[in-house]
Structure 1
Amino acid sequence: MQRREWLSLAAAGLAASAGVRAQGWPAQQIKWIVPYPAGGGTDVLARAIAEAMRPQLGQAIIVDNRPGAATNIGADLTAKAKPDGYTVMSADNALLAFNEHLFSKLPFNPTKDFTFVGAFGRFPLALVVNPQFEAKTFKDFLAYVRAHPGKVNCASPGNGSPHHLAMELFQERTKTSLTHIPYKGAAPALQDVMGGQVPCMFLDLPAGLPAISSGKVRALAIGSAKRVAQLPDLPTLAESGVSDAEVYAFQGMVGPAGLPSDVVARLNTTINKALQDPAVVKRMQEYGIEALPGTPQQFQAMSRAESERWGAVIKRAGVKLD
């Protein structure tokens, strides 16, 4: 047998074997890594979608919380997992758009070491202030910050978070100077804004809607392309005069590089159906999340576009995490 014929037969055999494996998938429970603590917006969304996916797949989906290192701990575990469809991960801006620019060295390559499965949704960030802060409107806030350069503290859940980078983009677009105060998570940051220890922060809607609705913080503008249904009277940053300043977090699912295409296709179809499940729709509406059903290719293209956009912001701001 000629070498070329042997290689062709070998390739056909491998493809057939992969197809057989994919047809039998899933034959056991699936581990879903969430790179954030239990109880947060990412965790709650993952559990809601996992519950809607379970009857479609006929297997349990177990959420495994692996927080830390700006999602790098969970990402490293996922990248090194066997590409058999039994380990997947919630992936967001941190993994897919920020970290390659924030860290000089990563234990994985975000463009090569993961298989993109599909997006779940995205949620905008709103600029909020303590109710007692003297700036009552966005216009007032902008005037106050410009009159007090570097003297207005702005909280965030941590260095390199979407909230922190939203602040950096805001400063760039408005030519203002805020002092960043990083916390270990959104909850303690929000607590100090509500308590008046820090006057303002960019706050994601899943974490912030209850505080905004109850008047514990005052929302001044939102970083979405258009107003959101949950806060119809809240103007966008663009409406407030700040152009090209959309700020939101997005989430989706990835797996290790090399997932069989049939497994990816089934996971993607299952996710898109789960996004139509009434319980998931209700939860996403409660959290102000815009559903983003689509293909793996669309999810990857969006992620790379966001990486390019935020990479430029990170470079200009000089933000580094190592």
Structure 2
Amino acid sequence: MKRFLQLLAAGLMLAFGSHAPAQTAYPSQPVRWIVPYVAGGGTDNLARALAEAMQPSLGQPLIIDNRPGASTNIGVSVLMQSKPDGYTIMQAENAALLFNEYMFAKLPYKPASDFTYIGAIGRFPVALVVHPDFPAKTVAEFVSYVKAHPDKVSYASPGNGSPHHMAMELFKQKAGINVQHVPYKGAAPAMTDVMGGQVPTMMLDLASGLPIIKSGKVRVLAIALPQRAGALPEVPTFAELGFKDVNAYAFHGLIGPSGMPPEAVARINAELNKAMQAPKVVKLFSEFGFEALPGTPQDFYKLSRAESERWGRIIKTAGVQLD
């Protein structure tokens, strides 16, 4: 009788189905997108444009959550305290991905193992600019002027540990020059003082600086990429001018907490790559001088770790420490 009842129960389950709830396809609720910078900047604008392009196909809202501060470590902290369920992601850049592990002695995370790498977005080119009244009109003249005026030339950046800061440190190493760092709290005040002549020069990302370059409020001397930037095709690269290893940019990608479900990673990666082909996004990228880097999560991880090793050597040589 017992065996009969077991068989009967099994038959009823096959006939009428299990009462266990069916697994819901991802995503079934809004996705939080952490931006570790203030609203209105280049990173925030990029995030909002991509989120808008991804949302219709994804079928759920992508909600931007600005968490600025501490060289993006505040945003990373929020991310790492979130469930690794695919409903919290972060737009990471040089600080979290490449720089902080070398700049902070007691960093509470390891980029190589504590993130889920979802996909690269791309990179903002960085350019060397000067105030229009600065005597140097070429990179060679800039180097000669700085060497002739030791410890007299200063440069602005959006802050300690920013891509702009490290790009100038790289150029200093390769050119054998010394310019004094003046960190600001953001790109806007740094650009304002360079335009006003209070500080003569800076490394400027094109997302923030392209309008003032085209207006003539600053003069651009070189682009820190292996090839010329599409937004400024007339501007030479550092490599063309004899500084072949001066490659620097603001590198962006999407990450999640460690242990995200593979299906969530695959879905967001696919939607991200598709969004980068949307006409509005392509137009924005062109206006920003932004180079898209679509690809797989594995591509993103490999590129990030290779760039981390390169910048680790540069940071150690520069002696930059933030704690």
2:186 aligned partner, one-letter code = G
Counterpart of 1:3?
none
1:22 Cα deviation after fit: 7.5
Unpaired segments ≥5 residues, structure 2: 1-20
Any conservation in 1 of the 2:33–2:62 contact (CA below 8 Å)? yes
Larger radius of gyration: 2
- Provide, for residues 218-256 of structure 1, a one-character-per-residue CA deviation record: whole Å limited to 9, x for no partner: 000010111112111101001111121111111010011
Q: Verify: 1:164 aligned to 2:162, yes or no.
A: no
Q: Which amino acid aligns with 2:39?
A: A
- Native 8 Å contact 1:22 1:260 kept in 2: no
Counterpart of 1:246 in structure 2 is 247
Structure 2 match to 1:216: 217
**TM-score normalised by structure 2 residue count:** 0.92
Partners of 1:253 and 1:260 in 2: how far apart? 15
Q: Distance in 1 between matches of 2:239 and 2:23?
A: 47
Aligned to 1:34: 35
* Superposition map of 1:161-310 within 5 A: 161-310=162-311
Deviations 1:170-191 (A, max 9, x none): 1110111111111111110010
Q: TM-score, normalised by structure 1?
A: 0.92
Question: Secondary structure at the residue paired with 1:239?
Answer: helix
**Superposed CA RMSD:** 1.2
Q: Report deviation, 1:151.
A: 1.1
Question: Residue deviations 1:127-176, cap 9 Å, x none?
Answer: 00000111122221111011112210011111111111111111110111
Note the residue ranges of structure 1 that are not aligned, 5 or more in a row. Answer: 1-19
Note if contact 2:26-2:263 (Cα within 8 Å) is conserved in structure 1.
no
Q: Match for residue 6 of structure 2? A: none
- What amino acid is aligned across from residue 162 of structure 1 in structure 2? P
Question: Separation in 2 of the partners of 1:285 and 1:275?
Answer: 11
Q: Label 1:43 to 1:125 Cα distance change in 2 as closer, same or farther (>3 A).
A: same
How many angstroms apart in 1 are the aligned matches of 2:96 and 2:145? 35
The separation in 1 between residues aligned to 2:162 and 2:257, in whole angstroms, is 24
Equivalent AA in structure 1 for residue 249 of structure 2: Y
SS at match of 2:271: helix
Note if contact 1:272-1:294 (Cα within 8 Å) is conserved in structure 2. Answer: yes
One-letter amino acid matched to 2:293: L
Matches within 5 A, 1:14-25: 24-25=25-26
2:18 corresponds to which residue?
none
Spell out, residue by residue over 1:64-100, the C-alpha distance to the aligned partner (whole angstroms, 9 max, x if none): 0000000000011101210111100001111010000
Aligned to 1:45: 46
Number of residue pairs aligned between Structure 1 and Structure 2: 303
Q: Distance in 1 between matches of 2:108 and 2:248?
A: 27
Q: Which residue of 2 aligns with 1:4?
A: none
Counterpart Cα distance in 2 of 1:22 and 1:261: 15
SS in 2 for 1:163: helix
Specify whether residues 316 and 293 from structure 1 end up closer, same or farther in structure 2 by C-alpha distance, changes over 3 A only. same
Runs of 4+ in 1 over 2 A off after TM superposition: 20-23
CA displacement at 1:23 relative to structure 2: 5.3
In 1, Cα distance between equivalents of 2:263 and 2:295: 16
* Distance in 1 (alpha carbons) for counterparts of 2:207 and 2:112: 28
CA distance in 2, matches of 1:199, 1:257: 43
Q: Is the 8 A contact 2:92 2:254 kept in 1?
A: yes
- Give the counterpart letter for 2:252 in structure 1: Q
CA distance in 1, matches of 2:103, 2:212: 30
Residue type at the aligned position of 2:91: S
Letter in 2 for 1:40: G
Query: For residues 22 and 88 of structure 2, what CA distance do their matches in structure 1 show?
Result: 15
One-letter code of the match for 2:184?
Y
How far off is 1:107 after superposition?
2.2
Report the identity percentage.
61
Letter in 1 for 2:148: A
Distance of 2:33 and 2:212 partners within structure 1: 29
The CA distance in 2 between the partners of 1:281 and 1:22, in whole Å, is: 36
Match of 1:123 in 2: 124
Aligned partners of 1:134 and 1:106: how far apart in 2?
42
Note the C-alpha offset of 1:21: 8.8
